[in-house]
Structures are given as structure tokens and as C-alpha cells.
Amino acid sequence: MTSPTPPLRPVVVLGSINTDLVVRAPHFPRPGETLHGSDFAVIGGGKGANQATAAARLGAPVQFIGAVGADDFGTRRIEEMAAAGVDVAAIARVADSPTGVAFITVNAHGENTIIVAAGANWRVTEQDISGTMLAMAAGGVLVAQLELPLETVAAGLARARAAGLTTLLNAAPSTAAARNLLHHVDILVANEVEAGDLAEWASTVTKENAVDVSARLRARGPHTVIVTLGAAGAIVATGTRTILIPAPRVPVVDTTGAGDCFTGAFAAAIVGGAEIDAAARRAVSAASYSTTIFGATTGMPTTEQLDAFLRASGTG
């Protein structure tokens, strides 16, 4: 008689929820320039919501801690996240702040520029982090980013680690003050710019020097450092090895949310029992898939979509 499969431990996301107002343009406008755009869309976003959606679509049980305004955008974002399978019970409705908004321009190469008005995200405090939720999530993963007040992120990381969760920080958007959080972090995920800022690295971070940058960051606290390199893939550094995971080549439509897709997919794989390297490989493929679709959450794959993509790309 086989033993029953133990239930998955949850991914707890402490993070931001935004409404993305996205428009395509031939290029980014210069100061004073007016462009004719196309493909305008209103899409759920925010790094926290994106990562939660990515993890939930890939089969992880996901709980979310955050806030939206008492407005239509907030209602829609909660409904969308719940439909994706995210537990939204701990999302607060803030009466005197609007739901966060991001204004995104996507150029002809799929690159983007983003301006964020944080709104209700900036009202999330340590008091919103349920100790009971963390205690029941022991053995799972807490995922945090830097779109909430840093003192809230610091409290969440410290309390989650004390409760027995693995702490994962996606150090985005970049801020030098995040260096003070690293001693609370088990797994750090950062892109080239963010990793360079955190490590106080004087030159541009590339796949050639990312090993040295990762070593400097590991010395500041995290046992695992992952530097995402866009189309080049990701560097994964642990105490015993450093590897480069290349990304499959895909026709890029929109890179918005690709880093969030990586983080959410990685967390989902970890709570599913995958080792660090295997989880990172799956996350690289998920992020690559997401760039083939316009919009952030719209590009987050389900398990079936990702498995089909892996077979088609020869990496599954």
C-alpha cells in the first residue's frame, strides 16, 4: 500500500496589487513627443499579484497578503486573483487610498517602461501579516518584493523565517535600502541591475561576472542567489555550485511580467518538491513562455501550457 502524497505547503505572497494600463508604441516617446499607440489594455498587475498568479496557475496553493482600494479596480483585481486560484482572504480594502496603478509602454521590440503609483500598496503594514497564517504555512515559502514599505517587507521576512518558512525576496524594483533585508533572506532573485545595486558592483553585471556578484551577495545572507539575465537565462549560485541556465529562444511580444513569472514559477516548483536547479530551469522556461504573450498576468502559463511549451522547445 502506497503512502498518500503529502499536501503541498503554500506559497505566501506578501506583495503589491496594481492595475496595469498598457499601450504599445513604435518606440518610447522622447520628452515633448506625442506618439500614436495601439493595443491599449487594462490588465491586472503588481509584482506581488503577478507572482501569486504565476504560482497558482502552476498548481501551488497560494495565499496573498496585500491591499487594494475600495474602488472598481480593487474589486476586479481581487476577482481575477481568486479566479486564478489565489486565496484572497487576507487582502485588505483601504477606503482612503486608490488601488495601485502602473502605466506601461511597450515598444516594437517588446521592451517596456513602467511608472507606478503605489496607492493602497503603501498602506500595507506589519499588522496585516497574520501570525496564524504564517504558522499554518510552516514548511512553505514566503515570497516578497519591494513594492510595499520596506519595514513591512522586513517584518514579513523575519516573521516568516521564524515561523519555519523559506524566505524568497525578489529585489525589485531596485533600491539600495534593500541591502538591509538580505540577512532575512534564504533565496534572492534579482536581475542584472538589481543584483549590481545590492552587491555595490562597480561595473555592469553580465553572465561572465555574475558568479562573482552572486558570491558577494551570498556573503550578505542568502544561501541561494539567482541572477536573471533576460534572454540569456539565469545564473543560480548556491554554497556548492554555480550554474548558467540558458533560456529557450522565443518570438518576444512583451517582456512585462517575465521576471514575476520566473519568481512565481520558481516558488511553485519549490513547494512542489523540486530541487533549486530544477525549479530554476522550469522558471526560466515559464518566463520565456510569458514573453510570447501581450500583457503581464495574461502571459502566465498553466501547468498544461508550460508542459506543452517544454515539449515543443525540447527542454521538457
Residues with catalytic annotation?
Answer: 260
Exposure string for 215-244, b = 16+ CB within 10 A, e = fewer: eebbebbbebbbbbbbebbbbbbbeeebee
Facing residues of 94 across strands? 69
Cα–Cα dist 217/40, whole Å? 39
φ, ψ at 238 (rounded to 5°): -125, -170
DSSP classification of residue 126:
G
Please list, in sequence order, all residues whose beta carbon lies within 8 angstroms of the beta carbon of residue 213, skipping any fewer than 6 positions away. 195, 196, 199, 201, 205, 227
- Sign for the CA dihedral angle at 165, 171, 172, 173 comes to positive
% helix / strand / coil in the chain, to the nearest 5?
40, 25, 40
